[in-house]
Structure 1
Amino acid sequence: MYAPQLTPVFDGHNDLLLQLWLKHPENPAQAFLSQRLSGHLDLARMRQGGFAGGLFAVFVPPSDYVAKFHGRDAASEARSHNPLLITQQQIAILQQIEAQSAGQAKICRSVGEIEQCIAQGLLAMVLHIEGAEALDADLSQLEGWVAAGLRSIGPFWNLPNCFGSGVNGSFPGSPDTGDGLTEAGKRLIRACNRHRLLIDLSHMNEKAFWQTAELSDAPLVATHSNVHALCPQPRNLTDAQLAAIAQSDGLVGLNFGTAFLRRDGQRGADMPLSVMVQHLDYLLEKLGEERVAFGSDFDGITVAEELGDVTGLPRLLAALRAAGYGETLIDSLTRGNWLRVLKKIWRQ
């Protein structure tokens, strides 16, 4: 249970499962539940910061990154690299957290379950896949993942897969970095609509974004992206993309990563929280107060020193209040807007 004076935050993206898979292979769930971890997130600090839940990403890192992390030979790591197995192992970690948490954490499959968890002070975990490298072109694994609790999927990370290619350009740059969706990618978008899965636009190149906007019947959502006009990272959203998201009654979750916030595109942590407020101001102007939320990317990025980790959420909210944000708007940004758009997408 988080302290009653804290504002509960439901967040659109974190990479906790990747960090547990890499750093705590023996007993990842217990590491999360009982230790202070080296990254931004663990259960105790989530409670301290008011982190009530969010979308927990399953992410298959490139084989060369895994090899470097573990000090292994890159060629042999590439030969043994198994995206499907890694995906299954990270899904299992989320299931183990639920099973070993003594009722403190729950995999949520509906907005009603999320709301119940927030009301009871339990950690609400939604299963999300970031980058569909483990999914074959026939989508044969998708139904099994949905049965396991999958409610959100981003077809891409930075690298190409059978569904197309994600944004993979340097700063400063345009999001127009690839050829968009393949035919398999178009089938995936339609399948996500049939299963009522959130389709995450955050790593889509510009062509794939507009193809998805045309194909999908759901609100457009970028779970962890920022404003290209303020920080011209290719991963950030142009005004035209923001207008399309607003037109669809979708949502953008603010990415806390300094490289996606700073005008110079650098990862340095010496950035005031006022820069995050500037991006929120811009998003609110373009999207309206019902279509902006948080998508921290905790455990996957560098955050401002003043924020530090998940325990810094109250400091971010204090900065918003100091900037004139009222409590109704803060409630919308911290959880209400996510619940609204998930109800629309999941049709609940």
Structure 2
Amino acid sequence: MTALVPFFDGHNDFLLRLLKTPAPREETWLGATGRGHLDLARMKASGFAGGLFAIFVPPASSGPPPDFKALMADPPYALPMPPEMTHAQAQPDALAMAGLLHWMARAAPRDFRVCRSVLEIRSALEVGTIAGVMHMEGAEAIGPDLDALHLFHDMGLRSLGPVWSRPTIFGHGVPMAFPGSPDTGPGLTGKGIDLVRLCDDLGILIDLSHLNENGFDDVARVSTAPLVATHSNAHGLCPSPRNLTDRQLHMIRERGGMVGFNFATFYLNTDGRADGGPGWDTMLRHLDHLIAEAGEDHVGLGSDFDGCVLPDLIGDVTGVPLLFEAMGAHGYDAPLIAKLARENWMDCLDKCLT
């Protein structure tokens, strides 16, 4: 039996699923239900050694969540942009998800730990404990005075994306559309510039994944930290506004940053569809492109587990070892796979977190 490759994942939405699932929390986290993409048992069985766990506040809705597979089945498409959300609307769910991340550690103290530094992450990995790092996808829960950022930082927040695919008081996100360019409008606001500077001061990574092109460039201009997109793919292969152009990948390389390879089918398929059909060849073409343009020291995984439609070949977190096998068959040697699996993330986080 092939030994598991321990890996660090740049993005998942398990906290939102945990918040919204009607089943008892213990069943969703500790039980072997097989639902969703993640739970503790499957993470341990797959080599999931750690990752960024997103606090994401979804658009207010009284109905069921959107069926992205249906909405993105017939490109071209342009999904309506959700309206801006105030910090008063966003904070309750954001605080609840921050609490759930800590609850996960209390519920399984030997198996899961909330980590605030690379030293803590490495220490967890050495003893086989999964390292959970708090991330925020869309900064709506941070009010205009930025005071809440200090509170979330004390809770463990170490990575933050100023926007999701809707405007915030800090900047503008790219739409969920296909095909399209990331050049979709204005960049950071004045408050967004203040937010980036404070994140630099506190040692909070700025995630570029959902920012439009002007916002990306504004972060590059204002921040002194490495440029990081936690879960994005190659625009040259799939022209979604969410994917990164070669120019952006070059900037990430030059600034010593990272791009996390996203498993979402609508950012993999050349036609932007959300079906589960992408094979290893499609996924490996994106990895090849990211490595060629950003460099092999600046690419890792950013799965988007529990937040996307996955390729059928992956299915859930237990499919990641199969991806590593496909990388090996494609010609990636063991040192390169180790870089992509975890070492590049560790090196990047070491430069970003304080």
* Category of TM-score, reference length = shorter chain: over 0.9
Distance 1:326 1:154, change over 3 A: same
* 2:63 maps to which of 38, 43, 68: 68
CA contact (8 A) 1:28 1:93 kept: no
Structure 1 residue runs of 5 or longer lacking an equivalent are 72-77
The residue that corresponds to 2:80 in the other structure is none
2:240 to 233, 241, 253: 233
1:338 counterpart residue number:
345
Name the residue aligned to 1:254. 261
- The equivalent residue for 1:34 is 31
Change (3 A) 1:70 1:185: closer
What pairs up with 1:201-220 in 2 under 5 angstroms? 201-220=208-227
Residues 84-131 of structure 1: per-residue CA shift (max 9 Å, x gap): 000000001101000111321000111111112112111110000000
1:44 and 2:41 aligned = yes
- Picking from 298, 318, 332, the partner of 1:311 is 318
Identity fraction in percent? 46
1:75 aligned residue: none
Partner residue of 1:277 out of 281, 284, 299: 284
Secondary structure, in 3 states, of the residue corresponding to 1:208?
helix
Unmatched segments (≥5 aa) in structure 2: 67-84
Per-residue CA deviations over 1:302-331 (Å, capped at 9, x if unaligned) read 111111110001110010000000000000
- Which residue of 2 is the match for residue 11 of structure 1? 9
The CA distance in 2 between the partners of 1:143 and 1:19, in whole Å, is 26
Selected match of 1:58 from 37, 55, 58? 55
> Quick check: 1:30–1:100 contact (8 Å CA) kept in 2?
no
Q: Deviations over 1:116-152 (max 9, x none)?
A: 2112111110000000111111101011111111100
The alpha carbon displacement at 1:48 in A equals 1.5
Residue 36 of structure 1 deviates from its aligned partner by 2.1
The ranges of structure 1 where at least 4 consecutive aligned residues each deviate by more than 3 angstroms after the TM superposition are none
Once residues 116 and 57 of structure 2 are traced to their aligned partners in structure 1, the CA distance between those partners, rounded to angstroms, is 22
Report the equivalent of 2:77: none
* CA-CA distance at 1:242 after TM superposition: 0.8
Distance, in Å, in 1 between the alignment partners of 2:208 and 2:178 is 19
Per the normalisation by structure 2, the TM-score is 0.91
- In the TM superposition, residue 29 of structure 1 has moved relative to its aligned partner by 4.6
2-side partners of 1:97 and 1:30: how far apart?
A: 12
Give the TM-score taking structure 1 as reference length.
0.93
Q: Give the deviation of 1:298 after TM superposition.
A: 0.5
Number of residue pairs matched by the alignment: 335
Alignment partners' CA distance in 1, 2:207 and 2:281: 27
- The amino acid that maps onto 1:22 is K
Shift of 1:287: 1.4
Q: 1:124 — aligned with what?
A: 131
Residues 21, 28 of structure 2: 8 Å contact kept? no
What code does the residue aligned with 1:216 have?
S
Which amino acid letter does the alignment assign opposite residue 55 of structure 1?
Answer: L
Q: Is the 8 A contact 1:107 1:126 kept in 2?
A: yes
Secondary structure of 1:253's counterpart equals: strand
Report the AA paired with residue 23 of structure 1.
T
Q: Quote the Cα distance in structure 1 between the aligned partners of 2:30 and 2:118.
A: 24
- Check conservation: 2:313, 2:319, Cα contact below 8 A: yes
2:205 counterpart of 1:198: yes
Are 1:302 and 2:297 counterparts? Answer: no
2:113 aligned partner, one-letter code: K
Distance 2:189 2:45 in 1: 44
Give the direction of change, closer, same or farther, for the CA distance of 1:272–1:187 in structure 2 (3 Å limit): same
**Contact (CA 8 Å) 1:165, 1:179: kept in 2 or not?**
yes
TM superposition shift of 1:70 = 8.1
Distance in 2, Cα, partners of 1:328 & 1:142: 38
Q: Answer with 29-38 or 51-60: which moved more.
A: 29-38
Cα distance per residue 1:16-39 (max 9 Å; x no partner):
000111114x74255212242521
| CA pair 169-56 structure 1, distance change in 2 beyond 3 A | closer
Match of 1:300, SS state, is coil
Task: Check conservation: 2:27, 2:33, Cα contact below 8 A.
Answer: no
Q: 1:327, 1:202 → 2: CA distance?
A: 28
Letter of the 1:223 counterpart: T
